[in-house]
Amino acid sequence: MSEPNTAEVTLTETPGEVLTGQRIVVLDFGSQYAQLIARRVREQKVYCQILRHDITAERLAELAPKGIILSGGPASVYETGAPRCDPGLFRLGIPVLGICYGMQLSCDALGGKVDNTPSREYGPAKCVINKPESLFEGLPGEIDVWMSHGDQISSVSDEFEPLAHTSSCPFAAIRHRELPVFGIQFHPEVTHTPLGGMLLENFVRKVCGCEPTWELSDFAEATISNIRAQVGQRRVICGLSGGVDSSVVAALLYRAIGPQLSCILIDNGLLRKDEQTMVIREFTEHFKTDLHVVHAEDRFLETLDGISEPQEKRRRIGHAFIDCFKGEALKIDDAHFLAQGTLYPDVIESGADPDGPAATIKLHHNVGGLPEELGFELIEPLRDLFKDEVRRLGIELGLPESLVWRHPFPGPGLAVRCLGEVTRENLDVLREADAIVVSEIQAAGLYRETSQAFAVLLPVQSVGVMGDARTYDNAIAIRSVNTNDFMTADWSRLPYELLARMSSRIINEVKGVNRVCYDISSKPPATIEWE
């Protein structure tokens, strides 16, 4: 095995820079929609990335984006400690679009006045366009928009001009007369603003001058070329989970280096029912790769014994995964690189990007989780992509649709769907219930219409009656959501008959369950997973 080299390796530059020489950046001020803004920009076939809100104007000038978007956020610009941006960014000559809090921040920095409204405005509004130009070119005179704010612009200096208003917001959109700075009080990135995509397109294409050149097919070819140049004649190992992310990584690597790829599947006892069999079939028949399977259920259950706190579960699973993976990898001759299916939301939420948002939302066992002694260079070819882009890339690479469109599965597996303590018995109950949920949705022809569906074992027992006998058994929650990007999601309106069949089958076929609930929470405020 070669000497340890822990330098993190992705592409030599960001894919947007490699393929297009242009990008839009979003500065994140704590908005729940920051990732959604970036996805909406990418829908215009323009590369977009999310950066920390306090990035310096000097650093932005080095990155040379074609445009800057300031996200919304929960704070008030007048609060002590409220997040600010470097005011120098407004003088870079780069077009700036402030959304909600970002608009208020722009006005506050450039001579506007922000006041707290008597009551928070949240929900739909009619926005009347004063000047159908720049941002609003091609839009009708009145559009439906989504408001979510407690503060709003109460007055602007002569350096600003209003572009739109609502019945309660006189400055729903503004622009600076001399600087390329725009602001909108509503949220164009959410589906509740139906023409918001057109507004963002106007900013990205017309104001910033970006061309629609961000193509996943080009991304695939550029990535494959980079991997070949990077790897040379050395060997790459790839961790498989059975999910679309690691499968697409394996497909990219197989296309790039063929027999130099070795794949490792860690059977940690936290997989879905028959997961191991499916992975072995796909990656020995479809790819014909060198596949190593490590049976480590006992190891993982031991490390999770007595642990119920979600972040600690993730941390322990990550460490156990690394140990098992390292042990198997050491058996593979000339293994120099490690490839992982890290996605852009993983990088953002784990705080792994030095220019990205600093807050850690949750731990990702494959982001920054590799200790130095592992001794591999890291290849993360998907770390600039969102989930829906990965699926489209999988189709581009010729992966079977049954694999590409599999519902997502969390890295820590069933451990974060088994609330409370993780035991072999609880996992067996959850695995059987989950298999019933998925099979019934497939039988109803709704698998592709739903984005993610699964069962959750709740850490509570309840009274029931079975066969005239009193029971005190487990409760299962069914979770099914619809989403385009997994950053926001709504609960699936499954037919009552389907829910009834699921409930009946789970209670009758899964020993130890006497109650089934259906989760009707949306994201936000809830998350898709329960832990």
Give a three-class secondary structure readout of 240-302. ECCCHHHHHHHHHHHHHHHHHEEEEEEECCCCCCCHHHHHHHHHHHHCCCEEEEEECHHHHHH
Predicted local confidence at residue 468, as pLDDT: 62
CB 487 within 8 A of CB 414: no
Q: Rounded to whole angstroms, how far apart are CA atoms 312 and 322?
A: 15
pLDDT exceeds 80 at position 121 = no
Sign of CA dihedral 522, 523, 529, 531: negative
Q: Which domains does the chain have, with CATH numbers?
A: 23-207 (3.40.50.880), 215-404 (3.40.50.620), 417-518 (3.30.300.10)
Cα dihedral 335→336→341→342 (10° resolution): 150
CB 206 within 8 A of CB 175: no
Location of structure tokens 């000339």: 334
pTM of the predicted model as reported, rounded to 2 decimal places: 0.72
Q: Which residue type, as a one-letter code, is found at position 398? A: G
- pLDDT tens-digit series, residues 381-398: 998 888 889 999 999 888
- pLDDT tens-digit series, residues 317-376: 988 988 898 889 888 988 889 898 888 877 776 554 555 454 434 444 444 444 455 678
For residues 359 and 132, the model is more confident at 132
- pLDDT tens-digit series, residues 143-166: 999 887 556 666 677 788 989 998
Catalytic residues: 100, 187, 189
pLDDT exceeds 80 at position 483 = yes
Q: Which residue type, as a one-letter code, is found at position 339? A: A
First and final C-alpha spacing in the chain: 38
- pLDDT tens-digit series, residues 74-102: 888 878 888 999 999 999 999 999 999 99
Q: Rounded to whole angstroms, how far apart are CA atoms 194 and 351?
A: 32
- pLDDT tens-digit series, residues 359-374: 434 444 444 444 455 6
